[in-house]
Structure 1
């Protein structure tokens, strides 16, 4: 309760009238996403809430649309508590409205990856009997070519019944909706290949206070007016920043997909102060038009490893505005590196946020500072919070003596060469420190004698650098077994749609060249 009161104080909500309004709203409607509108009513319902590629929506309009939509979903589609509503959508206002309406009805919300393959989608709908699938029109073929036969609703359409037409449609209400608290929020992990892993969270007003407070305080969100969610909303920290800004009554800019020119234009036009990115996005924007980014005061980077070179580039061009967020779909947000932390060490993930536990484990035991092991996390806001279990993240790294955490790679990235354990991320970090190296990736190649040897793919700023020069430079910075046997210079390294290094494509390229 003390934490709740502290957060409400930060939101300037501790007057008797405001507290009374909050508790009345909880009693009448339940604890769901629509509760955010109770928090923002005092800020002026005519303030802009959402800006997307189609429209600008005020808080008053957003609240009204979500309420209308909730009635339509209940009456026409039978959505109620315990049912499964899936979203196959990109970033736009209809997606947000659909989430709020489904949450108001107490339904379980499934957020599907918009880049999933036909095979993935087919497997998913066979395993999960969704009661309603809300989708963008561009994914219609994906649905038609699957076995899915239950209710569907398109997000935007000029002729069909859609989220936008239902939200704008006035109706005579037969009665008040019963109070309902939010159901489960299910995220799908695993990228675009293989079988997606379902990660279930049970939203709780109290359990999520710690990460929400960390975002408010460490990123100083209350002092800003406009945020641009450049990352997909269906990613954990994309929706976290979205909901945080809506709770603050501020303006949020979203676009269906990331385009570097459009992103730079949006930031300049709307004087955006906060942006959520994966590292590749900010890298592209800096290359395209750095002057358009000068309004930024908080760049929240996550989802992939932040390169030290990029940290320095952001600082040199924009100042101390870069934050590194570390979390997983299963465990949520757990570490934040502030600009001061990144000045301490550009490779750090930062320190633990209050309220969570993180230990570094090897062979079942916690290791000493400096030793490498797997990150294991336990907190109240994770998918396993009710079971009080430690979550094995699959990420490998270490904690230094000052409490800063560092990432070395993934457990499944481990390369064993002549009996030595090598995490490619460690070698990649060193390679990127070379002044002529823009990016680097290291993979393991099968070897008759050593089991595996290292092969590096290196992207350089110019073609002056040679393999011999780079190897000589490495010898002074890594152990002998960490030096790649082969270095290939490339124009560009492959990345996934969410900005993560695509090691599988690198391995496929290597096999095709043999």
Structure 2
């Protein structure tokens, strides 16, 4: 399909979403499965039964197989683990087919599912399990930080998979409880600090449409057939990519952990066209010899979750073409702003883009430079926050054409020698250096200046950068208050989400 002149209606019709037959299948799916992920999977299995749906490091399934296995797993959870609608389940697992099956099965049973980060430590996971009442805990067996004395029944994803395989030929269809809609899928936002914000989202047909329209109209994601997801499902970006990809009948490749070399091999082997990514992942790709050749199949890199350095945009555009789209959103408000490759190339600094249809944004209390706190209101925000103004916590400005630009986090602003300093600005300047892969700037108390900035720098493997050379390079670009008092060269560890691990 030629894309730019095709209406959203035509695209949705082509994807069967609003065709007469598609509406009939949707109706039956919603009647039988409720408003749940299982209804979506039933719809996809009807139109793409023999197409490869999903592949992980161990196996692959067609859409028909994925639907059948999900339905069988639903019956196992209902009959053998006695799960009932409105119960609570904690799921702690890396991207895999069995976790995908569990997400659909739990949604069909009306279970309130909490996705906990696999990056959390023992104390953090134990605290969450003790604080909330879960009827069942499902986790990957290699997660050593899971406490041995769990507060309720627990089972590994590997054991669930074995039961499913053992009973595959024996399972008989059982009458499952009727549900009107699936319960919330909950993620915990807040990194590894332990101070989590609980983000709950319920399956919804109407609130799902505006973000989908933006992906179809502006990214034209419907044109591509092969998707790679290495961002974890407990990251909202990874989970939403999975759901949208399955709805459109894509081939979804899953990777459990971020390993730049392995992922580049998968991109080349599977001829991946679409990949959601965070900037730190992309930066590491370009440090690997032969990356350009391995990435030539990519047509759409969807960046989100962190600030996208201008230097990274320029490198990617030069090497493999204008393929980067920048998505901006928050865990609470969801995705609500998008910048195309052409828009990213049009400004000296990276733009967040403009709000998608159905979103209202405003800059509150701007300073003399027009920089203020960013507020948003959308219909598809987290459960309980729909159509309410929310403070994103980001500092932004807006130009005369309506484009927004990011200037850091309000809660990271520090006073150094009487001046306001934004550590994220320092990080962005550092990342523009061709020999720097990752950078971290943070404040340290000082008896004379109140605070000063210290930095940690990760360089390319062959770099011979010294502290004095870097300071000389920084001086023309930073104010005196922003200049680092300490520069430490080290490897900056990444989380599964592609973000930097907390200090």
TM-score normalised by structure 1 residue count: 0.88
- Distance in 1 of aligned mates of 2:174 and 2:427: 62
Deviation track 1:398-450 (CA, whole Å, cap 9, x = no partner) reads: 22222222222222311112332111112222333345555433222222232
* Gap change, CA 1:6 and 1:111, over 3 Å in 2: farther
- Give the match for residue 249 of structure 1: 249
- Distance in 2 of aligned mates of 1:36 and 1:427: 44
* Gap change, CA 1:5 and 1:385, over 3 Å in 2: farther
- Distance in 2 of aligned mates of 1:117 and 1:350: 36
Alignment of 1:143-222 (within 5 A): 143-144=147-148, 146-148=149-151, 150-157=152-159, 162=162, 164-165=164-165, 168-175=168-175, 177-222=177-222
In the alignment, which of 329, 332, 336 is matched to residue 330 of structure 1?
332
* Gap change, CA 1:494 and 1:16, over 3 Å in 2: closer
- Give the match for residue 64 of structure 2: 60
Q: Secondary structure at the match of 1:253?
A: strand
- Give the match for residue 223 of structure 2: 223
* Gap change, CA 1:33 and 1:494, over 3 Å in 2: closer
Alignment of 1:83-482 (within 5 A): 83-139=87-143, 142-144=146-148, 146-148=149-151, 150-157=152-159, 162=162, 164-165=164-165, 168-175=168-175, 177-288=177-288, 289-290=290-291, 291-345=293-347, 346-362=349-365, 367=366, 370-383=369-382, 388-435=387-434, 437-459=436-458, 470-471=470-471, 473-482=473-482
**Greater mean alpha carbon deviation, residues 473-482 or residues 398-407:** 473-482
- Distance in 1 of aligned mates of 2:32 and 2:377: 33
* Gap change, CA 1:417 and 1:490, over 3 Å in 2: same
Q: Secondary structure at the match of 2:37?
A: coil
**Greater mean alpha carbon deviation, residues 27-36 or residues 38-47:** 38-47
In the alignment, which of 52, 77, 80 is matched to residue 76 of structure 1?
80
**Greater mean alpha carbon deviation, residues 391-400 or residues 457-466:** 457-466
- Distance in 2 of aligned mates of 1:454 and 1:460: 19
**Greater mean alpha carbon deviation, residues 234-243 or residues 391-400:** 391-400
- Give the match for residue 11 of structure 1: 15
* Gap change, CA 1:10 and 1:344, over 3 Å in 2: farther
* Gap change, CA 1:125 and 1:70, over 3 Å in 2: same
Deviation track 1:299-355 (CA, whole Å, cap 9, x = no partner) reads: 112222222222122112111111222222111112222111210235222222221
Deviation track 1:377-417 (CA, whole Å, cap 9, x = no partner) reads: 22111125556322222222322222222222222311112
Q: Secondary structure at the match of 2:155?
A: strand
Please, which runs of 5 or more residues in structure 1 have no aligned partner? Answer: 506-514
* Gap change, CA 1:465 and 1:112, over 3 Å in 2: closer
Contact kept, 8 Å, 2:98 with 2:161, in 1: the verdict is: no
**Greater mean alpha carbon deviation, residues 27-36 or residues 113-122:** 27-36
- Give the match for residue 499 of structure 1: 498
- Give the match for residue 44 of structure 2: 40
**Greater mean alpha carbon deviation, residues 433-442 or residues 306-315:** 433-442
Aligned length: 493
Contact kept, 8 Å, 1:117 with 1:193, in 2: the verdict is: no
Query: CA offset at residue 45 of structure 1?
Result: 0.1
Contact kept, 8 Å, 1:83 with 1:131, in 2: the verdict is: yes
- Distance in 2 of aligned mates of 1:464 and 1:239: 40
- Distance in 2 of aligned mates of 1:354 and 1:224: 23
TM-score normalised by structure 2 residue count: 0.90
Q: Secondary structure at the match of 1:316?
A: helix
Q: Secondary structure at the match of 2:195?
A: coil
Contact kept, 8 Å, 2:75 with 2:174, in 1: the verdict is: no
Contact kept, 8 Å, 2:280 with 2:438, in 1: the verdict is: no
Q: Secondary structure at the match of 2:205?
A: coil
- Distance in 1 of aligned mates of 2:167 and 2:119: 26
**Greater mean alpha carbon deviation, residues 297-306 or residues 454-463:** 454-463
Contact kept, 8 Å, 2:44 with 2:247, in 1: the verdict is: yes
* Gap change, CA 1:255 and 1:438, over 3 Å in 2: closer
Query: CA offset at residue 501 of structure 1?
Result: 3.5
Q: Secondary structure at the match of 1:49?
A: strand
- Distance in 1 of aligned mates of 2:487 and 2:385: 48
Q: Secondary structure at the match of 1:275?
A: strand
- Distance in 2 of aligned mates of 1:23 and 1:12: 13
Deviation track 1:103-133 (CA, whole Å, cap 9, x = no partner) reads: 1111111111011111111111111111121
- Distance in 2 of aligned mates of 1:380 and 1:407: 23
- Give the match for residue 4 of structure 2: none
- Distance in 2 of aligned mates of 1:418 and 1:119: 38
